[in-house]
A = this chain, B = another copy of it.
Amino acid sequence: MDNLDFNKIMSEGNEYADGERNWPGRSDVSPAVIKRLPRYFRYLRELIRNGKTRISSGELSEIMHVTASQIRQDLNCFGGFGQQGYGYNVNYLYAKICDILGVGMGFCGIIIGAGNLGTALIKNPMFEKRGVDIIAMFDVDPTIVGKVIAGIEVFHMNDLERFCKNNRVDIAVLTLPKELAQEAAEQAVRLGIRGLWNFTGKEFYFDKDIAVENVHLGDSLMTLCYELCHINQRTGEQSDED
């Protein structure tokens, strides 16, 4: 599972030691920890960009606004990545987090729904940065089908089955209208796709060999509104009749 990049990183710092013990825990890590991993990924990436090679949990805790204790606990779910008296080697830790998160697994994805949101996503460098390769888009709108968006061809939904038989597809990004979501998701799963990145607002209840990650933008907006209401209450609602 080590790749060239990883070997390169390994050779850069040699203050850490210890190697791999075999960690049994990996299987049942708490959801709270998992949700935090991508944040470590981002901050470590930033540290590397800034040329930092070594960091302690205390220093990282200040940058990330969390406790040092939490950082050590989180990382130790997956292995002993640090060294007493020294801290963590940034490149090594980053490589480990990448492994854990499956960056470099070469996952392939398709986008179902080539409307505004699907188009916005494909034009975002996000997929590339995280090692997910989007290989096709699908839609039913005849004015969209056949187009090439950001270098990716848009096929008709009727071609989905054929496409999935000829290509490995791990992830379907669902950016189609809510009403069509259930059917599209079921079809994707039937064709062997195991991961759904769901922007439709519809909720799915597949069994747990299907991974579904929901992005509810509306929910996020409402949480913001709730907070705003309460800030206004605290600071004395600057209402219109002042």
Question: B116–A38 contact, CB under 8 A?
Answer: no
Select the stretch in A69-77, A95-103, A137-145 that faces chain B: A95-103
Known contacts A120-B119, A225-B105, A231-B209; A38/B219 CB under 8 A: yes
Alpha-carbon separation in the docked complex, A226 to B120 (Å): 24
A178 to chain B, nearest CB (A): 10
Question: B130–A218 contact, CB under 8 A?
Answer: yes
Closest residue of chain B to A192, judged by CB?
B238
A97 to chain B, nearest CB (A): 10
Known contacts A221-B132, A222-B37, A229-B105; A42/B127 CB under 8 A: no
Alpha-carbon separation in the docked complex, A213 to B225 (Å): 9
Proximity string of chain A (86-116) to chain B, C-beta cutoff 8 Å, 1 when within and 0 when not: 0000000000000011110101000000011
A82 within 8 A of B: no
Question: A127–B221 contact, CB under 8 A?
Answer: yes
Interface size on A, residues (CB 8 A): 63
A190 within 8 A of B: no
A54 to chain B, nearest CB (A): 23
A236 to chain B, nearest CB (A): 11
In the bound complex, residues from chain B placing their C-beta under 8 Å from that of A221 are: 126-127, 130, 132, 197, 213
A227 within 8 A of B: yes
A234 within 8 A of B: yes
In the bound complex, residues from chain B placing their C-beta under 8 Å from that of A124 are: 116-117, 217
Alpha-carbon separation in the docked complex, A207 to B221 (Å): 20
Alpha-carbon separation in the docked complex, A119 to B127 (Å): 20
- Report which A residues bind B (CB closer than 8 A): 27, 34-35, 37-39, 41-42, 65, 100-103, 105, 107, 115-117, 119-121, 123-124, 126-127, 129-132, 170-171, 194-197, 201, 205, 208-211, 213, 215-235
| 5 A-B residue pairings within 8 Å (CB atoms) | A42-B218, A102-B229, A107-B228, A116-B119, A197-B221
